[in-house]
């Protein structure tokens, strides 16, 4: 039995001093404490995250009992060849450092099952990593790699592989040999098409590919029959293959901010789908088969060009959230009253002139947003919505619920509900454009498109359990994507020159950073810091600071231009 004492975990009796766990997270350490080496026979877990450590001393690699080594968020620049001595290592985390070189001796850590190298300027895929055949989880996001070697197929036990925020445009055919892969993240790379090897990953359950230039979900996606989560946000997808209907285990499908104009009828075969995100596309019509998504709970259709909603939407009896904002809708189908579990109905910024009386059947409705439409009144059946907590009719509305008054509407020959916010006035469009012509409506919307996107919007709280992610370790990109190539060029120059200058001049430069540009230039010239060396260290510091200001980054670039007359 073991217990903790002052950040240490002792086995049995503390007097024996058989330390098995040492937690030194966030202690502002510049060096690895020498006391660690006293326990090299028994130490199994060493946590050194969030310190200022630049190098790992050789005696550390004599701790052969180590199974877990976490050195996340430090200033480490290289993983030395001595790493191969840690033959019992199972978990290794060097994420958020300044590492540009990993010794091939890492291949000797044959028991490694978890390896995190994210947010390091590696520049290329380490050869030794492809020989770690026991790996199950591999994280290499934001490592500036643009190529995956063919021998990646050796990692047949791999279950989670994260490659987001790199410069990849292709995957080798050997990638298909990762037949145990369940989670793959290739988001924010340079893919223009989905690699065929991905279609052969039959065990895959989670696939993130957002932020690429992929234009089509191809026919071979039908091979991903175990897929549960597919994210294609912010891609150029225009075509979704009819074979998507074969993904019958799909629960979450995200196609937001793409270029879709039509959905295949086969989408209705996704019987297990719970969340469907189609917001920010160019859809003008929905297939009737959308009503066959019997388990659908969330449907996002905002920022499209929809003019009509099919009556089959009434078949979505489990629907909880429906977002139809920023479309061209004249009316809602009466069948919407059959969505008996609907709690949030979001239909602002459309052209609705009336609401169907069947809305009164939505007994579970809690929030109804009807702002910026063209309603003259509300149906009397709204009074049946006993659970309604918010009814939004105007951007100027100060309370979620306002008093509604009954009155007789002579044109409709029936009693209706009204208030001081009805009839709705055009808050965004010219009132004189009150025509029924679809052409005029589209011109009106087109002229105010940018303004519509900039309007304030209401955000609704969502049950966090509905948005649960897998076990991927998400890390933000260290700098904007448009600077990736520049960073890569700098890194390549550093790798070629391998400057040996002392770190102290650059530290002095950083200390003088806030004293003005002339001081910084003077410090650089006085201490004879080579441009490549200077940028080597600047890059490493910027990389380990994910929230670095772009102003500071561009200031470094401007300083480089002033010193050399050249732009990187």
Q: In the chain, how long is the greatest CA-to-CA distance?
A: 92
Helix (H, G, I), strand (E, B) or coil at 261: coil
353 vs 260: CA distance, rounded Å? 28
280 vs 261: CA distance, rounded Å? 11
Judge whether 223 and 203 are in contact, CB under 8 Å. Answer: no
What pLDDT sits at residue 440? 44
Judge whether 365 and 336 are in contact, CB under 8 Å. Answer: no
CB within 8 Å of 258: residues ≥ 6 apart = 232, 233, 234, 235, 236, 237, 238, 280, 281
Nearest to 321 by CA among 462, 515, 178: 462
What pLDDT sits at residue 467? 54
B/e letters for 431-469, b = 16+ CB within 10 Å, e = fewer, are: eeeeeeeeeebeebbeeeeeebeebebeeeeeeeeeeee
Beta bridge partners of 407: 416
Nearest to 191 by CA among 172, 168, 223, 161: 168
Beta bridge partners of 137: 114, 160
492 vs 484: CA distance, rounded Å? 12
Beta bridge partners of 4: 9
| Residue spans per domain, the chain | 17-145
Nearest to 378 by CA among 367, 391, 389, 396: 391
Q: For tokens 């939407």, name the residue.
A: 313
Judge whether 494 and 100 are in contact, CB under 8 Å. Answer: yes
155 vs 49: CA distance, rounded Å? 27
Give me the phi and psi of 363, to 5 degrees please.
-65, -15
Q: How many other CB atoms are found less than 10 A from the CB of residue 563?
A: 15
What are the tokens at 208? 């993130």
Is-cis flag, bond preceding 201, omega within 30? no
Nearest to 331 by CA among 301, 359, 299: 359
Judge whether 299 and 276 are in contact, CB under 8 Å. Answer: yes
CATH number for domain 17-145, candidates 3.40.50.720, 3.90.550.10, 3.30.300.160, 3.80.10.10: 3.80.10.10
CA dihedral for 395, 398, 402, 405, sign (positive or negative): negative
Q: Could you give the C-alpha distances from 188 to 94, 221, 484, 565, in angstroms and in order? A: 22, 20, 11, 32
At CA 280, angle to CA 274 and CA 281, rounded to 5?
Answer: 95
271 vs 245: CA distance, rounded Å? 9
Nearest to 237 by CA among 202, 278, 199, 276: 278
What pLDDT sits at residue 503? 44
Q: Which ranges of 354-415 would DSSP assign to H, the alpha helix?
A: none
Region label for 527, one of left (φ > 0), alpha (ψ between -120 and 50) or beta (otherwise): alpha
Instruction: Compute the chain's Rg from CA coordinates.
Output: 29
What pLDDT sits at residue 92? 98
Judge whether 402 and 425 are in contact, CB under 8 Å. Answer: no
- pTM as predicted: 0.77
What are the tokens at 191? 């893919």
Judge whether 477 and 165 are in contact, CB under 8 Å. Answer: yes
Q: Could you give the C-alpha distances from 297 to 105, 119, 249, 251, 317, in angstroms and in order? A: 50, 36, 15, 10, 9
Per-10-residue mean pLDDT for the chain, 568 residues long?
Answer: 46 62 96 92 97 96 96 97 97 97 97 98 96 98 96 97 97 97 98 96 98 95 96 96 96 97 97 98 98 98 98 98 98 98 98 97 98 96 97 94 92 91 72 41 45 50 55 54 59 51 46 49 48 49 47 54 50
Burial of 566 (0-12, 13-18, 19+ CB in 10 A): exposed
Judge whether 196 and 217 are in contact, CB under 8 Å. Answer: no
353 vs 332: CA distance, rounded Å? 10
């Amino acid at each position: 039995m073991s217990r903790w004492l002052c950040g240490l975990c002792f086995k049995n009796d503390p007097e024996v001093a058989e330390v098995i766990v040492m937690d030194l997270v966030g202690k502002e350490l510049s060096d690895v404490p020498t006391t660690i080496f006293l326990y090299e026979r028994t130490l199994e877990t060493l946590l050194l995250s969030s310190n200022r450590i630049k190098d790992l001393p050789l005696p550390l690699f004599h701790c052969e009992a180590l199974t877990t080594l976490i050195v996340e968020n430090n200033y480490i620049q290289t993983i030395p060849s001595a790493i191969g001595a840690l033959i019992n290592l199972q978990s290794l985390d060097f994420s958020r450092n300044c590492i540009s070189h990993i010794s091939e001796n890492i291949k000797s850590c044959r028991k490694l099952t978890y390896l995190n190298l994210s947010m390091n300027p590696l520049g290329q895929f380490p050869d030794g990593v492809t020989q770690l055949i026991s790996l199950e989880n591999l994280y290499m996001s934001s490592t500036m790699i643009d190529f995956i070697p063919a021998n990646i197929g050796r990692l047949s036990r791999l279950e989670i592989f994260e490659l987001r925020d790199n410069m990849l445009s292709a995957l080798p055919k050997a990638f298909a040999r990762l037949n145990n892969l369940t989670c793959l993240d290739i988001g924010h790379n340079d893919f223009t098409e989905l690699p065929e090897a991905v279609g052969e990953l039959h065990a895959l359950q989670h696939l993130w590919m957002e932020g690429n230039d992929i234009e089509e979900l191809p026919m071979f996606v039908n091979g991903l029959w175990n897929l549960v989560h597919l994210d294609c946000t912010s891609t150029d997808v225009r075509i979704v293959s009819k074979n998507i209907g074969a993904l019958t285990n799909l629960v979450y499908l995200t196609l937001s901010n793409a270029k879709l104009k039509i959905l295949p009828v086969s989408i209705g075969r996704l019987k297990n789908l719970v969340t469907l995100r189609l917001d920010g596309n160019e859809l003008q019509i929905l297939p009737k088969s959308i009503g066959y998504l019997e388990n659908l709970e969330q449907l996002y259709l905002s920022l499209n060009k929809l003019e009509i909603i099919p009556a089959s939407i009434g078949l979505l009896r489990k629907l909880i959230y429906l977002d139809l904002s920023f479309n061209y809708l004249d009316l809602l189908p009466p069948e919407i009253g059959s969505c008996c579990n609907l709690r949030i109905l979001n239909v602002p910024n459309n052209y609705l002139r009336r609401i169907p009386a069947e809305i009164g059947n939505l007994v579970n409705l809690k929030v109804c947003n009807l702002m910026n439409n063209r309603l003259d009144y509300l149906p009397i059946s709204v009074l049946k919505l006993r659970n309604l907590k918010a009814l939004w009719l105007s951007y100027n509305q100060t309370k979620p619920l306002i008093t509604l008054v009954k009155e007789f509407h002579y044109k409709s020959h029936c009693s209706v509900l009204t208030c001081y916010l009805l009839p709705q006035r055009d808050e965004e469009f010219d009132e004189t454009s009150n025509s029924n012509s679809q052409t005029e409506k589209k011109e009106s919307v087109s002229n105010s498109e940018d303004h519509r996107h900039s309007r304030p919007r209401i955000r609704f709280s969502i049950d966090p359990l509905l948005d649960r992610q897998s076990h991927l370790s998400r890390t933000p990109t260290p700098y904007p994507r448009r600077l990736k190539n520049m960073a890569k060029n700098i890194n390549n120059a550093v790798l070629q020159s391998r400057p040996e200058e002392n770190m102290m001049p650059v530290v002095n430069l950083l200390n003088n950073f806030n004293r003005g540009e002339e001081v910084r230039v003077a410090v650089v010239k006085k201490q004879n810091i080579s441009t490549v060396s200077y940028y080597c260290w600047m890059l490493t510091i910027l990389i380990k600071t994910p929230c670095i200001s772009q102003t500071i980054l561009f200031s470094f670039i401007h300083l480089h231009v002033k010193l050399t007359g050249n732009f990187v």
